[in-house]
């Protein structure tokens, strides 16, 4: 019956030509048509069910809104721990180089997966070389990354260290690698496979609200029963500058060495020479790495310049080097570590050495006191 009346209402509305619609008393006519539709009183049960359904829908929607906008609703996802990865056997890769120190008494068996000129890889090598530790190198194709596909992280540097039970533990953060091996050197009776467990990756939410993992204690050493030789202030200073090298200095490298297309190509040609890409990779793959890599990094460098708000990238790296030198001069010592370099000195040296052979490196040496 209701349907019939609604149809009748539609037909009656068509009786009023659109040209005359404004002359009709709208309130009277619509009141008339509405009066022709019978009113039925909904049952209390139906109203109750509709109310419950609407309340559930609104409540669920609001809860979902809070979940995705308020990180406190995701507290159960924060501070999750992720332990190290272990391999029963070595991945099927080709060792491209072996660094052998005849006086190495560390007892470590290490394989470093790297890009020769990656700042983080240079930092790890600077530490290993300074401490006279032997290690093998797998040079990874910077574009295709075939030799690192076995790893979940797909990042370099990645270090495989042989444990006492014959397995290999994987470390994939340069500062963690350095801290773990430094801790091991304090007491070589430790199993490096167990020592790595003291550096778990902890989950957190980044500035974009995305879940990420980081090793929060990466700049700390594990002394066990041994007493630290340095004071608390000295160790805090070392950790501060190690973090500075990772959070500030290293981000100035790419915008400088890939500042222009010509500099980017020059840099990758140098990478090819020092990394012996022509020896370790087919010619087509070498050319792809040089020309494809140069163009890609030139584009990335422009984004990094904007991300880190660098007006003049050369001035920015000059300022960083001068800050480092000023800190040493205030100490009136040769290094931040005193008369001998500490882990902070090695980190800064490693990061800056990644530019060697580039125009940016020559400019830095000429315009700051960092050279000597």
pLDDT at 180 over 60: yes
- Bridge-based pairing state of the strands 85-87 and 168-171: antiparallel
Tokens of 294: 């140069």
pLDDT for 218-277, tens place per residue? Answer: 999 999 889 999 999 999 999 999 999 999 999 999 999 999 999 989 888 988 888 888
Cα separation of 177 and 344, whole Å?
14
Cα separation of 195 and 215, whole Å?
14
Most confident of 12-26, 98-112, 138-152: 98-112
Omega before residue 157 within 30° of 0, cis: yes
Identify the band that residue 153 occupies on the pLDDT scale cut at 50, 70 and 90. confident
Residue with tokens 């609104």: 58
3-state secondary structure of 2: helix
Nearest by Cα to 76 from 203, 197, 198: 203
Domains annotated on the chain, with CATH: 77-228 (3.40.30.10), 230-371 (1.20.1050.10)
pLDDT at 2 over 80: no
Residue with tokens 């008494």: 105
Identify the band that residue 49 occupies on the pLDDT scale cut at 50, 70 and 90. low
3-state secondary structure of 332: coil
pLDDT for 51-78, tens place per residue? Answer: 555 565 555 555 554 444 544 445 555 6
Identify the band that residue 205 occupies on the pLDDT scale cut at 50, 70 and 90. confident
Count of residues for the chain?
372
């Amino acid at each position: 019956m209701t349907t019939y009346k609604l149809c009748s209402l539609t037909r009656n509305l068509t009786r009023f030509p659109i040209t005359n619609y404004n002359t009709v008393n709208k309130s009277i006519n619509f009141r008339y048509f509405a009066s022709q539709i019978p009113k039925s009183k909904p049952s209390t049960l139906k109203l109750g069910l509709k109310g419950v359904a609407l309340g559930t829908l609104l409540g669920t929607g609001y809860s979902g809104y809070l979940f995705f906008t308020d990180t406190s609703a995701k507290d159960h996802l924060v501070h999750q721990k992720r332990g190290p990865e272990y391999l029963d056997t070595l991945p099927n890769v080709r060792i491209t180089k072996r660094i052998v120190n005849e006086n190495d008494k560390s007892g470590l068996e290490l394989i470093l997966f790297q890009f020769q000129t990656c700042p983080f890889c240079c930092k790890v090598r600077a530490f290993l070389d300074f401490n006279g530790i032997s290690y093998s190198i797998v040079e990874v194709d910077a574009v295709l990354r075939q030799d690192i596909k076995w790893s979940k992280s797909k990042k370099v540097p990645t270090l495989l260290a042989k444990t006492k039970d014959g397995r290999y533990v994987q470390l994939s953060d340069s500062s963690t690698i350095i801290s773990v091996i430094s801790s091991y050197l304090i007491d070589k009776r430790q199993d490096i496979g167990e020592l790595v467990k003291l550096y778990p990756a902890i989950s957190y939410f980044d500035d974009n609200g995305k879940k990420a993992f980081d090793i929060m204690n990466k700049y700390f050493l594990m002394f066990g029963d041994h007493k630290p030789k340095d004071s608390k202030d000295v160790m805090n200073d070392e950790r501060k500058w190690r973090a500075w090298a990772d959070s500030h200095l290293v981000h100035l490298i790419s915008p400088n060495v890939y500042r222009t297309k010509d500099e980017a190509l020059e840099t990758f040609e140098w990478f090819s020479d020092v990394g012996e890409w022509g020896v370790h990779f087919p010619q087509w793959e070498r050319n792809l790495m040089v020309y494809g890599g140069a163009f890609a990094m030139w584009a990335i460098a422009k984004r990094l310049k904007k991300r880190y708000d660098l007006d003049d990238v050369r001035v920015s790296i000059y300022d960083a080097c001068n800050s480092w030198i000023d800190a040493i001069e205030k100490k009136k010592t040769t290094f931040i570590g005193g008369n001998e370099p500490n882990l902070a000195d090695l980190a800064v040296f490693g990061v800056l050495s990644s530019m060697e052979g580039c125009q940016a490196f020559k400019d830095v040496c000429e315009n700051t006191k960092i050279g000597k």
